[in-house]
């Protein structure tokens, strides 16, 4: 008996070498060959087509098939399905997926749009593969509009229309009402006090990058502050944490001094880049407060944790402090530690209000009426859900 | 022309990125990726602008022997040392260079971990002290609103630490501090922050639109 | 000015001293107060726990800088220990230039602790600037934004990254951050690509992200050192997070006492001497 | 003494130097303050160079890696990498008054691109999704869920009203805005509580470093 087994396997392997079963890898281990001599049944009905949800980038092809007859049954039980992809009908191509038994569909997400692909699917039982089912060509079609994002487009366009409309209205000289923003007058007052005391004004435009809207709003306010400072002939120190913000601040201040008729008083050394690192910046600004003793500290822009460090050090040096940020987590500190605070959106409103440029009010008014629309949609949503209309939530589900 | 070209560039770049969001076409996204890459390269290249300003301000201080010029010298020389340790090309030879490398174990990395990290962390932690003094001198029950702020702050401060949780241990679940904290976070806090989030989002979009359309141009430096 | 008014004006350095004592004392005499697990932490723990071992990797984005190390480093260590103890593969990246050294330090330390092998069990992808560009780019192909790992090995030669193409093959991505980077992951990875995002944030940012938990935009969240302490309790490996919780309790109580005393002194002094009342803040 | 021990001791001394600021401004603090500015400036410069300028501009343009130029930009030739390099360079045109205005082109690409990039995703994640999350069913007032949903809806509407600038806050509008400010203040309080936690954690972290990592007494 002991001699019989090797002899048997030898003869089988010779036979197999002469008449290989379809799909078998030529170097399959001998022992497995002994155990199994037939591959699992092939899958049937393989189909390949463009993935149809109209939102993809054309990089997906959807496959479906009927399970191999041996899936989940007997000794030839399928262990996995293997999906191959190629660009020619008779090529083996690249293995793109191995799937668990019981799977009869797959979305191939790695295709190049517009290229024709052929697919082969094989059932594999651990040793042998079934004959491959083939399908193709299938082409991933590129879509030009992502329909699932339609609600975003509709609301955005409505919003744009309102902003543009109000901006034009303002440009034509229509008086647009904006409610009083507490603390706005304090800015001028603070600069005035610094002048009386003969000490500089410190203006920190936040630590946001130039693409942060708060930074841009802050630069608009800075232009206004610089004009007052120039008129009062009070030094204005602007420390920044970003290089680009520094160069923009230089331009803004230089120009404000020129407009105020004091271009010679502009001191480039007072617009300083300190550090990109948050607390290196915070520490250095605290140092400026302790040593150069500004009498008015204005913190307007995007602030994070350094807010309280500034506000408390400024309190210690007895400066009058005005702050404003849309970073909500910092507002409690500014509110408690500073003399005046612009809350959230008031910062944007202030930039429109202070620049005395009616055009800028358009954005504010547009946002305001968008808020009304938002409120209406929420109320409508609440009512519709109460009435048992579920479509509402679905419409707002975007991807 | 000095004014129009940058505004046109802003408009085109902005509109393209806006359209990119709605168009899944791979060529559009590839071009969008490219444009974003350009933007970030501009920012990366800008860092020298700031460093240049830093060097100018401090070297002026040193040259004029202004008060504290010694500290300016510290600042500039440490920066030079960091650059030397980090980028000296001649030292890149050898399997595990200590100079000219930023890998773990190099001098550059050592300076970062033992100087930059502790200094920044410690400066940040100064806030714990400042919060205490602000709490003592500024948190007043001046108005009903201020009282609400204080009460909810105290509940959260107690509800999130083990000692506070022990205080209300025997009480029914809905009277315990952790439950109240969760309730404040999940209801009033969420409603308010959601509202602020939406409002701020509109502000951001309005400003974005104004920039693209060239209405807001202060970042380009004034009006001329 | 009366006595209460004077009490209000004490040198703030006494307050600083009180805080210093309050933080140091529990280190020397620990109280060992119990730690209750909250839902967002449990959710994140479960999400990590559900990742199959030696399969698709957990991605951790170390998006913090030196200033928030005390809060976020314990989280990174706890999550890494959890993953490695369950043989979950880990890929680490950073979107913060200052996070490079920190990410490397945390990953190498925990990997050595568990005897894990680079490129087989974990990979460090390094730093790429341009937050939204990187996050969006990873949705198309990780190799577009991280063509090689931090040490110059092409990703195609990293065995554990085989077949990992974009968010479809990432079971969970955890961002640890003290800034708005978390929102970038939600907006540019979860929204367009349906990536599963978890977050570990500083306590101060936690309030901002509660609305995202409710809508499922974040699967779970660790908030501050307390979150780290809870995670450490869940994996039963106490470290800096748990060690600090006693001090946290004591200082919170101290600050509340300061608020109460400050108010008593303020209103007490005002009743007798109304002219000292200074409206110093606008709400 | 090995490098690790020297490093930890140095870090501990710098930590103490920063804390000395709490007593008063002094030379040790000034030293630490200038040191950290220098170290971090050097750090950023080097990290940006290695991770960004080198792989995207310097390598593709100057080293002309054979067939491998395209690593980052998905099929971009080396000359394409010149464009962002030039954009970076023209930022420095501002130092030459005659061509200074060219530097605005680079800013235009950056600010314009990112403004456009931000609009739609912000509308989606912060407006649409939050509308979906905010419009909760409130009809089932016989259940606890109904009441909490009502609370959330009213709080949201109140907050939105508070930030409405176009009309004076009077009447119904004033009432809603008043509810809004109540919610905002409770939210701020919670935020304050969490921030206290956060800052205290940082302090604890530094103390843990001093006592555990450096002195090893706990």
Q: Which of the residue ranges A25-39, A197-211, A276-290, C147-161 would you say has the lowest mean pLDDT? A: A25-39
Q: Does the structure show a pLDDT above 70 at A11?
A: no
pLDDT given at position A393: 65
Residues 28-87 of B with CB under 8 A from D: 30, 33-51, 54, 68, 71-72, 74-83, 86-87
pLDDT given at position A23: 41
Among residues C41, C126, C31, C37, which one has the least CA distance to residue C75?
C41
Instruction: Give the residue, A226 or A394, on which the prediction is more confident.
Output: A226
User: Mean pLDDT, to the nearest integer, of B32-58?
Assistant: 85
Would the CB atoms of B135 and C262 count as touching at under 8 Å?
yes
Q: How far apart are CA A121 and CA A135, in angstroms?
A: 9
**Domain presence at residue D208:** yes
Output the DSSP codes for D110-146.
HHHHHHHHHHHHHIIIIIIHHHHHH------TTSHHH
- State the first-to-last Cα distance of chain B, in angstroms, to the nearest integer: 11
Q: Does the structure show a pLDDT above 60 at A326?
A: yes
pLDDT given at position A273: 93
For residue A46, the surrounding DSSP H or E stretch is strand A44-50
Output the DSSP codes for A246-285.
HHHHHHHHHHHHHHTT-GGG--GGGEEE--SSHHHHHHHH
Q: pLDDT class for D79, splitting at 50, 70, 90?
A: low
Q: How many residues are listed for chain C in this entry?
A: 283
Tell me the HSE value of C261 on the side-chain side, using a 13 A CA sphere: 17
What DSSP character marks residue A21? P
Q: Mean pLDDT of all residues in chain D?
A: 83
Q: Which of the residue ranges A31-35, A122-126, C180-184 would you say has the lowest mean pLDDT? A: A31-35
Tell me the HSE value of C170 on the side-chain side, using a 13 A CA sphere: 26
Q: Does the structure show a pLDDT above 80 at C273?
A: no
Alpha carbon A202 to its chain's center: 33
Q: Does the structure show a pLDDT above 90 at C81?
A: yes
Query: Highest-confidence range of A189-198, C8-17, C30-39, C139-148, by mean pLDDT?
Result: A189-198
Q: Is the peptide bond before A137 cis (omega within 30 degrees of 0)?
A: yes
Q: Does the structure show a pLDDT above 60 at D201?
A: yes
pLDDT given at position A28: 42
Contact C133, B37 (CB under 8 A): yes
∠ CA C52-C55-C58 to the nearest 5 degrees?
80
CA A236 to each of CA A70, A265, A301: distance values in angstroms, whole numbers, following the listed order: 82, 10, 17
Q: pLDDT class for D67, splitting at 50, 70, 90?
A: very low
By three-state DSSP, how is residue B160 classified? coil
The pLDDT > 70 percentage for chain B reads 93
Closest Cα of chain A to B161: distance in Å?
20
Contact A359, B213 (CB under 8 A): no
- Domain holding D160, by residue range, is 136-218
Q: Mean pLDDT of all residues in chain B?
A: 84
pLDDT given at position B186: 78
Q: Say if residue D29 is exposed, middle or buried (CB neighbours under 10 Å; 0-12, 13-18, 19+).
A: buried
Say which residues have a Cβ less than 8 Å from residue C261's Cβ, sequence separation at least 6: B136
Say which residues have a Cβ less than 8 Å from residue A180's Cβ, sequence separation at least 6: none
Alpha carbon D123 to its chain's center: 20
Q: Does the structure show a pLDDT above 80 at B219?
A: no
Q: Does the structure show a pLDDT above 90 at C66?
A: no
pLDDT given at position B224: 41
Q: How far apart are CA A9 and CA A14, in angstroms?
A: 9
Residue written as tokens 């174990």?
Answer: B105
User: Mean pLDDT, to the nearest integer, of C207-225?
Assistant: 86
pLDDT given at position A192: 92
pLDDT given at position A29: 45
Q: pLDDT class for A206, splitting at 50, 70, 90?
A: very high
| A304 contacts in chain C (CB < 8 Å) | 178-179
Q: Does the structure show a pLDDT above 60 at A20?
A: no
Q: How far apart are CA C79 and CA C60, in angstroms?
A: 9
Structure tokens at D61: 């343009």
Q: How far apart are CA C191 and CA D104, in angstroms?
A: 33
Instruction: Give the residue, D27 or A188, on which the prediction is more confident.
Output: D27
Q: pLDDT class for A75, splitting at 50, 70, 90?
A: low
Helix axes B190-212, D171-208, angle to 10 degrees: 100
Q: pLDDT class for D10, splitting at 50, 70, 90?
A: very high
Q: pLDDT class for B80, splitting at 50, 70, 90?
A: very high
Neighbours of C104 (CB within 10 A): 23
Q: How far apart are CA A247 and CA A219, in angstroms?
A: 11
Q: How far apart are CA B145 and CA B137, in angstroms?
A: 18
Would the CB atoms of C281 and A399 count as touching at under 8 Å?
no
**Domain presence at residue D31:** no
In this structure, which topology does domain A42-139 adopt according to CATH?
Immunoglobulin-like (2.60.40)
Closest Cα of chain D to B45: distance in Å?
5
**Domain presence at residue D131:** no
The pLDDT > 90 percentage for chain A reads 28
Q: Does the structure show a pLDDT above 80 at A3?
A: no
Which residue in A344, A396, A398, A399 has the most chain D C-beta atoms within 10 A of its own C-beta, making it the best mutation to test that interface?
A: A396
Contacts 24+ apart (CB under 8 A), B168-174: none
For chain C, domain boundaries: 3-30+246-282, 39-238
Instruction: Give the residue, B92 or D21, on which the prediction is more confident.
Output: D21
The pLDDT > 90 percentage for chain B reads 29
Structurally, chain D folds into a number of domains equal to: 1
Would the CB atoms of A377 and D135 count as touching at under 8 Å?
yes
The pLDDT > 90 percentage for chain D reads 28
Residues 156-215 of A with CB under 8 A from B: 156, 159-160, 163-164, 167, 209-210, 213, 215
User: Mean pLDDT, to the nearest integer, of A206-218?
Assistant: 87
Q: How far apart are CA C77 and CA C73, in angstroms?
A: 6
Structure tokens at A302: 């995007």
By three-state DSSP, how is residue B82 classified? helix
In this predicted model, what pLDDT tens digit does every residue of A355-384 receive, in sequence order?
Answer: 666 667 788 888 889 999 999 998 888 888
Structure tokens at A299: 């913190």
Instruction: Give the residue, A231 or A22, on which the prediction is more confident.
Output: A231
**Domain presence at residue D100:** no
By three-state DSSP, how is residue A148 classified? helix
CATH 3.30.1490 fits A176-356, yes or no: no
Q: pLDDT class for D59, splitting at 50, 70, 90?
A: low
Q: How far apart are CA A219 and CA A212, in angstroms?
A: 11
Alpha carbon C169 to its chain's center: 24
pLDDT given at position A358: 67
Question: Which CATH number is C39-238 given?
Answer: 3.40.50
For chain A, domain boundaries: 1-37, 42-139, 147-166+362-394, 176-356
Q: Does the structure show a pLDDT above 90 at A95?
A: no
pLDDT given at position B29: 77
What DSSP character marks residue A193? H
Residue of A109, A278, A305 with shortest CB distance to C204: A305
Q: Does the structure show a pLDDT above 50 at C57?
A: yes
């Amino acid at each position: 008996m002991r001699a019989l087994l090797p002899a048997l396997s030898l003869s089988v392997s010779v036979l197999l070498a002469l008449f290989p079963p379809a799909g078998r890898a030529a170097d399959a281990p001998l022992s497995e060959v002994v155990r199994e001599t037939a591959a699992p049944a092939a899958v049937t009905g393989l189909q390949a087509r463009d993935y149809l949800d109209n939102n993809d980038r054309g990089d997906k092809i959807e496959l479906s098939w009927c399970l191999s007859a041996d899936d989940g049954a007997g000794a030839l039980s399928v262990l996995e399905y293997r999906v191959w992809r190629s660009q020619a009908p008779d090529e083996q191509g690249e293995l793109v997926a191995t799937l668990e038994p019981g799977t009869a569909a797959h979305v191939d997400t790695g295709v190049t749009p517009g290229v024709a692909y052929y697919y082969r699917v094989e059932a594999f039982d651990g040793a042998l593969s079934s004959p491959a089912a083939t399908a193709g060509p299938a082409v991933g079609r590129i879509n030009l509009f992502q329909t699932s994002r339609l609600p975003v487009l509709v609301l955005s366009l409505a919003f744009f229309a309102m902003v543009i409309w109000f901006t034009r209205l303002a440009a034509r000289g229509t008086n647009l009402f904006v409610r009083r923003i507490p603390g706005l007058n304090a800015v001028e007052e603070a600069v005035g006090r610094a002048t009386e005391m003969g000490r500089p004004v410190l203006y920190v435009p936040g630590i946001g990058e130039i693409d942060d809207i708060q930074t841009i709003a802050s630069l608009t306010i800075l232009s206004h502050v610089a004009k007052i400072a120039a008129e009062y002939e009070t030094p204005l120190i602007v420390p920044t944490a970003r290089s680009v913000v520094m160069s923009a601040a230089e331009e803004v201040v230089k120009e404000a001094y020129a407009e105020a008729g004091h271009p010679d008083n502009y001191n480039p050394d007072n617009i300083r880049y300190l550090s990109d690192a948050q607390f290196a910046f915070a520490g250095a600004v605290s140092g400026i407060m302790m040593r150069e003793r500004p009498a008015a500290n204005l913190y307007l822009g995007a602030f994070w944790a350094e807010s309280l460090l500034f506000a408390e050090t400024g309190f210690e040096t007895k400066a009058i402090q005005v702050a404003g940020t849309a970073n909500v987590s910092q507002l409690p500190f500014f509110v408690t530690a500073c003399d005046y605070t612009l809350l959230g959106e008031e910062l944007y409103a202030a930039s429109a209000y202070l620049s005395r440029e009616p055009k800028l009010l358009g954005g504010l008014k547009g946002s305001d009426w968008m808020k009304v629309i938002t409120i209406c949609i929420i109320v409508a949503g609440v009512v519709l859900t109460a009435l048992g209309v579920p479509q509402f939530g679905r419409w707002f589900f975007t991807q | 022309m000095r004014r129009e070209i940058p505004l046109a560039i802003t408009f085109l770049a902005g509109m393209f990125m806006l359209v990119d969001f709605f168009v899944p076409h791979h060529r559009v996204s590839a071009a969008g990726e490219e444009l974003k890459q350009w933007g970030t390269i501009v920012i990366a290249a800008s860092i020298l602008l700031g460093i240049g300003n830093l060097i100018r301000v401090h070297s002026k201080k040193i040259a004029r022997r202004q008060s504290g010029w010694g500290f300016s010298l510290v600042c500039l020389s440490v920066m030079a040392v960091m650059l030397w340790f980090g980028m000296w090309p001649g030292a890149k030879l050898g399997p595990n260079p200590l100079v000219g490398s930023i890998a773990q174990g190099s001098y550059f990395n050592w300076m970062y971990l033992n100087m930059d990290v502790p200094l920044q962390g410690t400066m940040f932690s100064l806030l714990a002290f400042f919060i205490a003094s602000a709490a003592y001198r500024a948190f007043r029950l001046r108005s009903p609103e201020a009282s609400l702020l204080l009460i909810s702050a105290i509940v959260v401060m107690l509800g999130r630490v083990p000692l506070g949780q022990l205080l209300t241990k025997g009480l029914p679940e809905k009277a315990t501090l952790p439950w109240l904290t969760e309730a404040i976070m999940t209801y009033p806090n969420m409603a308010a922050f959601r509202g602020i989030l939406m409002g701020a989002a509109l502000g951001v979009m309005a400003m974005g639109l104004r920039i693209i359309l060239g209405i807001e141009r202060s970042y380009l430096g004034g009006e001329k | 000015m009366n006595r209460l008014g004077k009490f209000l004006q004490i040198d703030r350095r006494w307050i600083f001293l009180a805080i210093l004592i309050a933080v140091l004392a529990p280190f020397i005499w620990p109280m060992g107060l119990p730690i209750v697990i909250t839902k967002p932490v449990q959710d994140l723990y479960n999400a990590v726990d559900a990742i199959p071992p030696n399969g698709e990797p957990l991605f951790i984005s170390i998006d913090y800088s030196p200033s928030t190390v005390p809060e976020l480093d314990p989280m990174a260590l706890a999550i890494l220990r959890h993953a490695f103890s369950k043989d979950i593969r880990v890929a680490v990246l950073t979107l913060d230039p200052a996070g490079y050294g920190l990410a490397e330090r945390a990953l190498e330390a925990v990997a050595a602790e568990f005897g894990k092998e680079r490129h087989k069990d974990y990979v460090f992808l390094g730093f790429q600037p341009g937050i939204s560009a990187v996050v969006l780019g990873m949705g198309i192909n990780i190799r577009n934004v991280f063509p090689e790992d931090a040490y110059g090995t092409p990703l195609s030669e990293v065995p554990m990254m085989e077949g990992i193409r974009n968010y479809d093959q990432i079971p969970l991505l955890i961002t640890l951050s003290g800034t708005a980077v978390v929102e970038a992951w939600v907006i540019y990875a979860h929204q367009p690509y349906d990536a599963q995002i978890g977050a570990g944030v500083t306590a101060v940012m936690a309030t901002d992200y509660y609305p995202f938990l409710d809508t499922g935009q974040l699967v779970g969240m660790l908030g501050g050192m307390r979150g780290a302490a809870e995670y450490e309790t869940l994996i039963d490996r106490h470290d800096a997070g748990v060690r600090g919780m006693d001090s946290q309790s004591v200082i919170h109580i101290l600050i509340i006492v300061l608020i109460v005393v400050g108010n008593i002194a303020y209103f007490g002094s005002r009743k007798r001497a109304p002219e000292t009342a200074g409206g110093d803040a606008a709400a | 003494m090995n490098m690790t021990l020297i490093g930890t001791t140095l870090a501990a001394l710098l930590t103490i130097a920063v804390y000395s600021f709490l007593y008063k401004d002094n030379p040790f603090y000034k030293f630490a303050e200038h040191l950290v500015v220098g170290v971090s400036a050097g750090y950023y410069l080097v990290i940006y160079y290695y991770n960004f300028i080198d792989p995207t501009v310097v390598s593709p343009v100057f080293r002309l890696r054979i067939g491998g130029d395209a690593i980052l930009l998905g099929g971009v030739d080396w000359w394409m990498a010149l464009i962002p390099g030039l954009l970076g360079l023209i930022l420095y045109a501002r130092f030459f008054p005659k061509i200074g205005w060219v530097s605005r082109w680079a800013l235009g690409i950056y600010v314009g691109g990112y403004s456009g990039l931000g609009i739609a995703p912000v509308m989606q994640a912060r407006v649409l999704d939050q509308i979906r999350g905010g419009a909760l069913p409130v009809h089932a007032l016989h259940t606890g869920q109904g009441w909490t949903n009502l609370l959330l809806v009213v709080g949201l509407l109140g907050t939105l009203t508070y930030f409405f600038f176009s009309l004076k806050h009077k009447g119904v509008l004033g009432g809603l805005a008043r509810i809004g400010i109540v919610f905002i203040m409770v939210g701020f309080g919670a935020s304050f509580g969490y921030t206290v936690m956060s800052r205290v954690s940082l302090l604890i972290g530094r103390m843990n470093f001093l006592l555990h990592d450096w002195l090893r007494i706990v």
